[in-house]
Amino acid sequence: MRADLGWSYTLAGAMNTVNALGYLLGAMMMPRLMRVYGPSRLLWLGAVLASSFMGLSGFFTDAGALLLQRLLAGMASALVFIAGGLLAARLGTVHPQRSGLVIGLYYGGTGFGIVVSALLVPQVLVWADQQVHSWAWAWWVLAMVCMLATFLLLWPARLLQRLAPSVVTGANPTNLFRWRSFVFGLAGYGMFGVGYIGYMTFVIALLREQGAGDTAITVFYALLGLAVLVSSRIWAGLLDRYKGGQVLALLNALLGLATLLPTLSAHWAVILVSGLLFGAVFLSLVASTTALVRHNLPPSDWGNGISAFTIVFAFGQIVGPTVVGWIADGPGGLARGMVFSAIALGVGAGLAWRQRPLVSSEGPPRAVRPVPPAAPGSVP
């Protein structure tokens, strides 16, 4: 799209910046929407809307129309991301010994989408090579695949609706989430949003600049997706064991290393290590914030906590692509933009390391202790 439509790196980055702005707006709306509609309904509705807006990408060439489409797609994606994360956290209460794995599997499922994209898009582009704006066909095919996946999502969304319905629709929901209690975790996650999105937006363009062909790029992206799929198994134990920002810090640091590697060497082995490490880390880092919320807040407040982390994440995504694109348009090109992303992730690691669990040596705070069952006939 960038080559066909004559975009600068700044405009290409702005497409993801506006997408992140929509994500932010959706995240800010979620606490109220969650109380009215519940997470299961929002999960499925968001998936339908996100798939539809993806298909719209193929119908426009005007930058303004595409920016609006990206804004709406971001809002819909926030519904999916937050509602699904909340349902995964609740499912973890049914299997407490595997809660980290359950949360990781939800976010790691994105790896299926990455692999499908890596295998489908090049073939569609070859097939549509003689068409005007051949990239439009890739958007339409991906939208159809996403819509199919959305219908497959309907059954588990309905099944998970039965979990803890009382904390979704309570007339006077409690709000024990305090931003200042999670300030270092939130700041570290915000810097993750700044840093990781630069890599995801521009790494393919960087590989093309370094001479990588279509087959190499397909292999790179597919392996990145496969690494996402196995990441839940790799980090599940740490997500269960650590209740502060330790996992968030570790994964930010590893992600910074993965982002820096392509700027140090164009050797194919180094590029593959970068993709595999990035895939094995970046969505487990998202899972680590859901685990942080789950460890330190009562179930009734998980939605508020996940929404708060998503909001700062969206702020980071708003900044990242445009800044990296602006840097890439200047001296040093994309490599210098990637270095900026790596620095942002390093700063995020330092901030997250300072996040302490909200528990004392005497055990969990009163807010997270289970409430004993009411006596028969009593009013809850």
In this predicted structure, the answer to whether residue 249 has a pLDDT above a threshold of 80 is yes
Residue 213's CB is within 10 A of a number of other CB atoms, namely 10
Q: Which amino acid is at 95?
A: H
Measured in whole angstroms, how far is the alpha carbon of residue 221 from the centre of its chain? 17
What is Dmax (Cα atoms) for the chain? Answer: 74
The yes/no answer on whether domain 2-158+180-355 falls in CATH 1.20.1250.20 is yes
Domain ranges of the chain: 2-158+180-355
Residue 339's CB is within 10 A of a number of other CB atoms, namely 18
Q: pLDDT tens digits, residue range 36-93?
A: 888 888 998 999 999 999 899 889 888 889 999 999 999 999 899 888 888 887 887 7
SS3 37: helix
Q: How many Å apart are CA 352 and CA 243, to the nearest integer?
A: 12
Q: How many helical (H) and strand (E) elements, i.e. helices and strands, does the chain have?
A: 13, 0
Residue-by-residue DSSP string for 136-188: HHHHHHHHHHHHHHHHHHHHHHHHHTTSSGGGTS-SS------GGGGHHHHHH
154: CB partners within 8 A, 6+ apart: 44
Residue-by-residue DSSP string for 296-340: HS-GGGHHHHHHHHHHHHHHHHHHHHHHHHHHHTSTTHHHHHHHH
Q: pLDDT tens digits, residue range 289-338?
A: 888 888 888 877 877 788 888 888 888 877 777 787 788 777 777 788 88
Cα distances (angstroms) measured from residue 341 to each of 58, 259, 337, 346 = 29, 7, 7, 9
